[in-house]
Homo-oligomer: A and B are copies of this chain.
Amino acid sequence: MVTASAPGKVYLFGEHAVVYGEPAVPCAIGLRASVTAEKRDEGLRIEAEDLSLSGFTVEYDDDETNRPDIDVPNSLVDAAMGYVDEAVAQVREAADSPDAGFDITIESKIPLGAGLGSSAAVAAAAIEAGTRELGVELSKAEIAERAYQVENTVQDGQASRADTFCSTMGGAVRIEGDDCQRIDSPDLPFVIGYDGGAGDTGALVAGVRELRDEYDFAADTVEAIGDIVRRGEQALAAENIDEIGDLMNFNHGLLSALGVSSRTLDSMVWAARDAGGLGAKLTGAGGGGCIVALDETPETLTALEYTPGCEEAFRAELDTDGVRVESG
């Protein structure tokens, strides 16, 4: 029996613009999904616990066709189970053990469907746990590649490498097209606010595309986000946290211009800024979900806890480990 875990992520800079070839910088956060894999004779049994901060438990046995009785949208459960199914397929292929059976247990502190990369973390941790359980040790590069294949299969070929690479490698990473690399970063005192919702990623991406196709100034705005990312990399290398915050603020405004912010996201962003946070922006597709701010003091967390529309607020340091074996 092997337990592995992998972190969630936030976008420090560059979401949406990354779709058009601009660079982006996601950062792994110290909020993890753990996957335990134990060999069994055949088949697959998946048990999922605490898949979101709101808390729910799934007992799901794929020998049975009954859907568990839980208070979350089926599509989320379907999605989570789909990621595990595909991760196990990758494990079997990597270990050349097409018939290997597993009991898989998932525990995650990463809110599901909040844009924090929970599915990528589950995929990476499941691949690490499953292959180790079969006595095979993969390089991080191979785990990242296979985790990406998992997401890409589940997401019908639309996945970005950002989440899986970031979750596997940890730290701040730079994504530009298919080119992914870790970059230098100081410790970053993330504070995250979550409105409990999620935007429609497909519709949000399509909305940006329409604006960009229609208006040169929207295309320029996408390019300006890329320029922010390039300046942001310099600020990370220089460990200039104040400037990183300023760039996050600017990035958020440009995302707002592109139509992907929302009332609650802006409300949380302002709570963070007014509380003295060094910078605040939405993270991910937008339309709802999470904001990320930087604040070493307790002020932003407190402000978010008292902000109407903020369902959960928590701190998360920059994670520098990526996927790792916890036991076994």
Task: Please name 27 pairs of A and B residues whose Cβ atoms are closer than 8 Å in the assembled complex, sorted by A.
Answer: A215-B227, A217-B227, A217-B228, A217-B231, A217-B250, A220-B223, A220-B227, A221-B254, A249-B257, A249-B259, A250-B257, A250-B259, A251-B257, A253-B253, A253-B254, A253-B258, A253-B259, A253-B261, A254-B254, A256-B256, A256-B257, A262-B270, A263-B267, A263-B270, A263-B271, A266-B270, A267-B270
A274 interfacial contact with B, CB 8 Å: yes
Chain B nearest CB from A238 CB (Å) reads 14
- When all copies of this chain in the complex are counted, the total is 2
Task: Classify the interface of chain A: helix, strand, loop or mixed.
Answer: helix
Which A residues have a C-beta under 8 Å from some C-beta of B?
211, 215-218, 220-221, 223-225, 227-228, 231, 249-259, 261-263, 266-267, 270-271, 273-274
The 6 A-B pairs with the shortest beta carbon distances in the complex, nearest first, are A253-B257, A253-B256, A263-B270, A217-B227, A217-B224, A266-B266
Residues of B within 8 A of A216 (CB): 227
Residues of B within 8 A of A273 (CB): 263
Closest B residue by C-beta to A274: B263
Most buried by B among A217, A259, A267: A217
Closest B residue by C-beta to A218: B250
Residues of B within 8 A of A223 (CB): 220
Residues of B within 8 A of A267 (CB): 263, 266-267, 270
